[in-house]
Chains A and B, each alone.
Chain A
Amino acid sequence: MLDTPTTQSQPMTATAVTAGTPVLEIRKLTKFFGGLRAVNDFNIAVHPGELAGLIGPNGAGKTTVFNMISGLYMPSGGEIVLQGQDIAGLEPFEVTRMGVGRTFQNIRLFSNLTVLDNVRIAYHMHAGYSMIDAIMRNRKFDAKERELTERAQDFLAIFKLERIQNELAKNLPYGEQRRVEIARALASNPRLLLLDEPAAGMNPGEIVTLMELIHFVKDRFGLTILLIEHQMRFVMGICQRITVMDFGEVIARGTPKEIQENPQVIEAYLGKGAAHA
C-alpha cells in the first residue's frame, strides 16, 4: 500500500525517454482570436525531469499556450510534440490520457463533490470497470472501486488532505483547494504537469510550503513540470529554466539569474527606460 501511487500500471515510466529528447517540444505555435494574435511563433522544449517556468506580464499569452497544450484551444498553427507524438488539435481528454495533467489559474474544483470524489474522478479513465459492471455491482466493480478509492486516499495522504476527504470541495479554505487541485492533477497520472499560477493568492509562508511540495511531487512521481507564475520569488526560487513571453512572443529564455539581468525582460515588466534607471 505504501507506494501505490508510484507503481501504477501505466506505461509512463516504461517509455524510453532519453535525457536528450524533450518530453514536450513546441514549434512555431500560433493562435489567433479573430484578428488578435494571442500567441505568435512560440517555441519551447521541456526536457525530462525539468522544472521549467513560463512568465510574462498579464495578457502575454501564457495561459493560451497552456490551453493549447491541454487541448482546450485549437492552435491556429504549429506543432505540439509530446514524447514524439504531435498532440496539436487532440481533444482535451485525449491529451490527458497521453499523460498531461494540469491545474487552472482560477481553481476549478468540482465544488459540490467531496475532496475524495474530486480525486477519484481523475482516476475515472483508469477505473477499469464499465457502466454495466457498475449497474450489476459485480465483483469486478467491488474490487476496482476499492482499489481506486485506496489510490485516491494515498494521494490525499501525501497532500495531508485525508482528514478532510469527505468535505465538499467548496467548503475548503483557499490553500487547501489549491492542494486538492494539484492532488487531482497528479491522480490523472501525468508525465508532464502544467501548473497555471499555483501560488496565486498565497502568503509567503504558504509559498515556501508549496515550493517544497512541488519539488517533492516532481521527484516522487518523476514528473516534468511546466509552470506559469507571477510571483517572482517563487519562480526564481524553483525553476531551472525560464521562458519569458510578452505580447504573444518569446522575448527571453535562460536561467533565473540570466532572466533577472535581461534588459528586455525588465522593460517588459517595468516599461521602457527602466533597465537603465
Chain B
Amino acid sequence: MDINPVFLLVTLIKIVAVIAWIYGLLRVVGHASKWVKIGGIIVAFLIVQLAISVPIGSSPILSNFDSGLLFQACTMTMVALGLNLIYGFNGQFSLGQWGFYGIGAYAAADITYRWDNYDAAGLLVAGLGVVLVGLVILMLNRILSRMRGIPVLSAFTLYLIGVIVAGAVALFIGAAIGQALTPLFGTEEAPGFLASALMAQVVFFLAVLIAGVFAAEVSFLFGLPVLTLGSDYFGIATLGFSIVINTLMVNSDTILPFPEMKGGRGMVGIPKVTNWFWAFLFLLLVIIVMRNIVHSSTGRAVMSVREDETASKAMGINVANYKLLSFVVGSLFAGIGGGVYAHYIGFLSPGTFDFLVGFNPLIIIVFGGLGSMTGTIVASFGWIFFLEGLLRVILGQMGTEAPTWRFVLYPITLLLMMLLRPQGLLGTVEWGFLRQREVKPRSREESNTVPVSIGAAPAAK
C-alpha cells in the first residue's frame, strides 16, 4: 500500500483548477459586455481544448483518463441540472432522471449507429416522429386547456392515441424517404455525400437534440398522470419508471425491435463523435437555458409550487402545468446529456443505467445544494473528479478489490455532508452568470412619489 504523493497533489490541483475554470466561465458568461462574453467563452473553451490535446512531455496536462472524467462530468452536470429543476426548484422528488438519461443515450446512439451503417431511416423516423408528436401534444394541449373537468386519465388516453398515430405516420413516411436516400450514401469504396465526415457531425448534433426532445416527450406522457400523485408516491412511481426503462434496455433485442442495441450484451459501434467542442456547447446551452428559465416569471412560478402549492394556486398559478413543465424540461436536459455521453463512450450497456447508479445525480444535487445551479455544476465536476478520479485510483493502488470501498465512502461522505452542511456545499450562493440580478430598493425620493400615507390617499377609482 503505497500512495504516490505527487499523484495526489497533482490531482488535487487539477480539481481546484477545474472549479476555478467553472467560476471563470460563469463570470465571463455573466459579463455585461457582449465582446467580453464571447471572447471569454472562446478562451474558456480553448484552455481545456489545449489542456487535453497539446502534449507536454509524454502526455497532455489532462491525460486521457482526465479528459474522460471531464466528459463524464459535463454529461452529469446536464442530468443533475435537470434533476435540480425537478426536485430542487419544483420540489417533486424524482428518481426517474436516470431513466430519461438512458432513453436519451440509446435514442441518440441508435440514430447515429444507423446512419453510420448507411441507414437514413433512423434519423428521419426519429426526427419526424418527435416533431409530429410534439405538434400533436401542443395541439391537444390547446384544445384540452379550453375544456374543463376532463379527468387526467382521459386526457392521458387522448394524448397517447395522438402520439401513437403521429408515431405511426412518422414511421411510415420516414422509412419510405430513408429508403430513397440510401443511394446517396454511396458504397464503401466511393462514399456518397451523406457518408461524409461533415454529415456525421450534423447528424450527431441532430441526434442529440432529437434524443433530448424524445426524452422530454416520454416524460410528458409519463408525468401527466403520475404528477397528480403526492410527492412520495411520485418518487416511487419514477423509481418504477427507471426500472422499467432498464428492463427494456436489457431486452431491447428481444421484446423491442432494436437488434442493434444487443440487449444485455451492450450496444457497440456507436460513432465516437463527442469531442470537447460538442460537450462544451451542449453544457453551455443547458446552463443558459436553465438559468434563463429559473430567473424569469416562469421560474418564480415553478419555485412557488415548491414553497406552497395552495398559496401558489391562490396566486393564479396552474400548479399541475408547472409541475409538468419542470419535469419535461428536466428530462430534456437528461436526454441531451445521455446523447452526448453515448457518443463519447461509444458503448452503451444497461448496467450503466441501472437504477442504483441513478442515485448519483440525486446525491450530487443534494450535495451541491437543492435549488442552487452553481452548487450542482461544482458538485458534478467535483464528484466525478474526486470520487471517480482520485479515490478510484488511490484505492486501486491499495488492492484489486479496494475500489469497492467507494460505495462505502460515497454514503459516508453524503452523511457527513447532511450533518455538517444540510443546505449543501454552496447553499444558495450562485456565481456570476447564475446569480439573480438583485433589484435595488428604490431610493427615498422615488418612493416618496408614491402616496404611502395610509388612509390619507383619495379613492383612485
Residues of A within 8 A of B (CB): 1-3, 6, 13, 70-72, 89-93, 96-97, 101-102, 104, 108-113, 116-117, 120-125, 127, 129, 131, 134-137, 141, 145, 148-149, 153-154, 157-158, 160, 162-163, 165-166, 184-185, 188, 209, 212-213, 215-216, 219-222
Closest to A211 in B: B455
Residues of A within 8 A of B441 (CB): 153, 162-163, 165-166
Residue of A2, A134, A148 with most chain B CB atoms under a 10 A cut-off: A134
B191 to chain A, nearest CB (A): 38
Q: Select which of A93, A134, A158, A160 is within 8 A of B316 by beta carbon.
A: A93
Apart from A93-B313, A93-B319, A113-B307: 5 A-B pairs, beta carbons within 8 A: A96-B314, A108-B311, A131-B296, A165-B439, A212-B455
- Evaluate contact between B314 and A102: CB separation under 8 angstroms: yes
* Complex CA–CA separation, A216 to B318 (angstroms): 31
Within 8 A of A (CB), among B370-390: 371
Distance to closest chain B CB from A19 (angstroms): 14
B461 within 8 A of partner (CB): yes
Task: Name 6 A/B residue pairs within 8 A (Cβ), A-sorted.
Answer: A96-B314, A104-B310, A111-B308, A116-B439, A158-B450, A185-B314
* C-alpha spacing A209/B458, complex, angstroms: 18
**Is B303 a contact partner of A212 (Cβ separation < 8 A)?**
no
CA distance A123 to B303 in the complex (A): 14
Complex CA–CA separation, A3 to B304 (angstroms): 27
Are A1 and B449 in contact, with the CB atoms below 8 A?
Answer: yes
Asked if B314 and A131 sit within 8 Å, CB to CB, the answer is: no
CA gap between A108 and B304 in the complex, in Å: 11
Complex formed: what's the CA distance from A93 to B313 in Å? 5
Q: Are B316 and A216 in contact (CB under 8 A)?
A: no
Are B318 and A91 in contact, CB atoms less than 8 angstroms apart? yes
Q: What is the CA–CA distance of A1 and B442 in the complex, to the nearest angstrom?
A: 12
- In the bound assembly, the distance between CA atoms of A96 and B315 in angstroms comes to 6
Neighbouring B residues of A145 by C-beta, 8 Å: 296-297
Q: Assess whether B300 is interfacial by the CB under 8 Å rule.
A: yes
> Which residues of B are found within 8 Å of A116, using beta-carbon distances?
439
A104 close to B311 (CB less than 8 A): yes
CB contact under 8 A between A110 and B304, given known A157-B447, A160-B452, A219-B459: yes
- A89 — which chain B residues lie within 8 A by C-beta? 149
How distant is A60 from chain B, measured CB to nearest CB, in Å? 21
